[in-house]
Structure 1
Amino acid sequence: MKGIISIQSHVVFGHAGNSSAVFPLQRMGFEVWPIHTVQFSNHTQYSQGWTGQSLKAHQVTDLIDGIDAIGQLDNCQAVLSGYLGSADQAVSLIEVVERVKQSNPRAIYVCDPVMGDPEKGCILAEGVSDYLVDELMPKADVIVPNQFELSRFVKQPINNLNDAVSACQKALSLGPKVVLVKHLHSLSDQQFSMMMADATGCYLVTRPKLEFAKSPVGVGDLISALFTGGLMKGWPPIMAFEHANNASYGVLEATYQCGEWELQTVFAQHQIDLPNSSFAASKVA
C-alpha cells in the first residue's frame, strides 16, 4: 500500500492544513498518512479565537518510528509539509525526509513553506521561517511558496512579471527542481495569478478573482495537495499545475456560490476529478 505522508496543521472544524489537503489527495486516489503538527478547534481567523495544542517534535518522529516498524516507509511516495508549530518540528522534519528517502530513494519532498501572516492571524514560532529558508526549502524537490515566501527564499523583491520569473529561476538554482508560486499578488488586482517553473521554463496561469466578504483559509494547502497528487500520478509538472489551478478554482467557486468562507471541499469534490474550468498556462520564459 503506497502512500503520501502529509505533515501539517489540523483543524477539527473547517478546512485548513491537513483538513484541507488529505481529502483531495484521497479523492485523487492516494492513501494519505497525516501527521498533525498542531491540532486546533478551528482556523485562527475566527474572532472568537480557537483552542488546541502543538505536538512536541519527538511526537512527530515517534509516529515515523511506528510506520517504519511495520515496514511502510518503503511505500512512502512523497512527504508533503505545511504549517510547522515549532523550530524543533522543523528539525524533526529534516530527519523524516532523510529517513523516507533512505527507505525509498524515488520518494520526493514537497515543501509548502508556510511563514505566517500576522494580518490573517497566522503566527509562526520563533525560528521556523529561518529554518524553512536555510534548510528545508533548499532540500525540497518541490516548493510551493506564495509571493512573500518566494521573495524571502531568494532574497529579492517581486513587483512584476519579470521579477517573478527571475525569482523562480533563482529558486531553482538553490536546490528545488520545481517551483509553484501559489499566489502572485503583485501581478494583477483583477485576476488571481500563479506561476510554475521547472527545467523547461516558467509558466503563468490566471483565473478570475472571487471577492469574498472574508477570504477562505486553506486555499494554499489545497493547491499544494492537488499539485502533489498530480506529480504522484506521473503527470508532467505543467499538467499538474493546470489541474491544481482549475480544481482549486472549482472548489473556491462552489464556496463563493454557497455564501461560505470555509472551503466547501466535500460539497465540490467533483471539481477535484473533473474541474469545470480549463484555464491554460502560458509559457513566459
Structure 2
Amino acid sequence: MNNVLSIQSHVVFGHAGNSAAVFPIRRLGVNVWPLNTVQFSNHTQYGRWTGEVFASSELEDIIDGIGAIGVLARCNAVLSGYLGAPEQGRAVVEIVRTVKAVNPRALFFCDPVMGTTGGCIVAPGIEDFLVTTMPEVADAMMPNHIELEKLAGRPIETVEEAVDACREIIARGPRTILVKHLLDRNSRADTFNMLAVSPSEAWFAQRPLYPFARQPVGVGDLTSAVFVARTLLGDSLRNALEHTLAAVNAVVKATYEAGRYELEIVASQDEIAKPTDRFPAIRVMGVETEKRR
C-alpha cells in the first residue's frame, strides 16, 4: 500500500488542510501519515480562531522518530500544504531530503498555499519562500491561478498562457503542475477550470461553478489530496485530472445542495472513490507551442 506523509494545517472543527485531505486519500485506498504544521480551532476565514503554530524543530523531530523505527523508507510521497511560518518551509525541504535519502523514488507534491483567497492568512515570508525555493525541490506543484501567476512572475489570462507558465516552472524542477483553479477570459462565467501540465502534455477540464453565497474553504486541499492519491495509484496525468475534478465536483455539489459552508466530505465519500459525473479533459497547447507550429 502507498503511504503519503501529509504536512499541512489541522483544524479541529471543519475541513481544511489535513482535515480536508486525510480522509479522502484514505478513502481512495492510500495510507496517510498526517503531520500537522498548526492546530487551530477552525480555519482562518472565520476571522477568529485559537490554536498554535508548531515549531519547525517539532516537525523534524517527528520525522526522526519515524526514521528511528525503520519505516521511513515506506513513504512513497510527501504532500505539503499550509505552512505556519517560513521556518516550517525549510523544515519541509529537509524532511523531503530525508525521505528521498531512504526512498529515492518518493515524490514531493507541493501545494503552495500563499493566502491568495479571501480570508486565508499566512505568515510573512512564506510566499517568497514558496516562489523562490519550492520549484527546485518539488516533483509536482498544485497552485491556484493567483499562485501560478506569482510562481511565473506575470499575469495569466488564458489557458494557453497558463500552459506556457507551467512549462517555465517545470523547467525549474517539477515534472507536473496541476492548476487547481484556472481563470480563463475565454471561459463561461459559470464554469470552474482546471489544468494539468507535464513537459509533454497539457490537459484542460471544466466542471460547474456553484453560486455559493460564501465559497467553502478547503476545496484546494481536497483537490490536491485526490490528485496525489490518484497519481500514486497509477493514473495517467489525464485520468488523475479527470478523477480529481469529478470527485471534487461531487463534494462541492453536495455541499451546495445541503446549504452548508463546511465541505460535505464524509457524506460524499462514495463519490470521491467512484464519481458519478465525469468531465472529459481536452488536450491543449501553449502560445509558444502554437507559434512554433
- The residue aligned with 1:109 is 108
Query: Following the alignment from structure 1 to structure 2, what is the Cα–Cα distance between the partners of residues 114 and 227?
Result: 16
The one-letter code matched in structure 2 to 1:33 is W
Structure 1 position 88 matched with structure 2 position 87 = yes
- The residue aligned with 2:288 is none
Q: Which has the higher mean CA deviation after the structures are superposed, 222-231 or 119-128?
A: 119-128
- The residue aligned with 2:19 is 19
Equivalent pair of 2:205/2:281 in contact (CA under 8 Å) = yes
The one-letter code matched in structure 1 to 2:180 is K
Deviations 1:35-74 (A, max 9, x none): 1111111111224x11111000000001001110011110
Deviations 1:99-131 (A, max 9, x none): 0001101100000000013x6222221211111
Match of 2:145 among 137, 144, 147: 147
Superposition map of 1:34-183 within 5 A: 34-47=34-47, 49-117=48-116, 120-183=118-181
Aligned partner of residue 265 in structure 1, secondary structure: coil
RMSD, matched Cα:
1.2
In the superposition, the TM-score normalised over structure 2's length comes to: 0.94
The one-letter code matched in structure 2 to 1:177 is R
- The residue aligned with 1:234 is 234
The one-letter code matched in structure 2 to 1:15 is H
Equivalent pair of 2:4/2:33 in contact (CA under 8 Å) = yes
Query: Following the alignment from structure 1 to structure 2, what is the Cα–Cα distance between the partners of residues 282 and 186?
Result: 15
In the superposition, the TM-score normalised over structure 1's length comes to: 0.97
Identity %: 47
Aligned partner of residue 180 in structure 1, secondary structure: strand
Query: Following the alignment from structure 2 to structure 1, what is the Cα–Cα distance between the partners of residues 158 and 234?
Result: 32
Query: Following the alignment from structure 1 to structure 2, what is the Cα–Cα distance between the partners of residues 212 and 37?
Result: 29
Equivalent pair of 1:113/1:137 in contact (CA under 8 Å) = no
- The residue aligned with 2:291 is none
Equivalent pair of 1:45/1:121 in contact (CA under 8 Å) = yes
Query: Following the alignment from structure 1 to structure 2, what is the Cα–Cα distance between the partners of residues 9 and 66?
Result: 20
Query: Following the alignment from structure 1 to structure 2, what is the Cα–Cα distance between the partners of residues 19 and 223?
Result: 13
CA drift at 1:158 = 0.3
CA drift at 1:186 = 3.5
Aligned partner of residue 160 in structure 2, secondary structure: helix
May I ask how many residue pairs the two structures share in their alignment? 283
The one-letter code matched in structure 2 to 1:265 is I
Query: Following the alignment from structure 1 to structure 2, what is the Cα–Cα distance between the partners of residues 62 and 150?
Result: 32
Query: Following the alignment from structure 1 to structure 2, what is the Cα–Cα distance between the partners of residues 169 and 91?
Result: 25
Query: Following the alignment from structure 1 to structure 2, what is the Cα–Cα distance between the partners of residues 201 and 211?
Result: 32
> Is there any run of 5+ residues in structure 2 with no aligned partner, and where?
286-293
> Is there any run of 5+ residues in structure 1 with no aligned partner, and where?
none
- The residue aligned with 1:185 is 183
Structure 1 position 6 matched with structure 2 position 25 = no
The one-letter code matched in structure 1 to 2:105 is R
Deviations 1:226-249 (A, max 9, x none): 000011101111111110100000
Deviations 1:136-165 (A, max 9, x none): 122100000011111111112101222212
Query: Following the alignment from structure 2 to structure 1, what is the Cα–Cα distance between the partners of residues 137 and 202?
Result: 21
Deviations 1:168-222 (A, max 9, x none): 1212112110000000124432210010001332111011110111100000000
- The residue aligned with 1:272 is 272
Aligned partner of residue 272 in structure 1, secondary structure: helix
Query: Following the alignment from structure 1 to structure 2, what is the Cα–Cα distance between the partners of residues 238 and 205?
Result: 9
Equivalent pair of 2:80/2:110 in contact (CA under 8 Å) = yes
Aligned partner of residue 50 in structure 1, secondary structure: coil
Aligned partner of residue 120 in structure 1, secondary structure: coil
Query: Following the alignment from structure 1 to structure 2, what is the Cα–Cα distance between the partners of residues 34 and 219?
Result: 18
The one-letter code matched in structure 2 to 1:232 is L
CA drift at 1:2 = 4.6
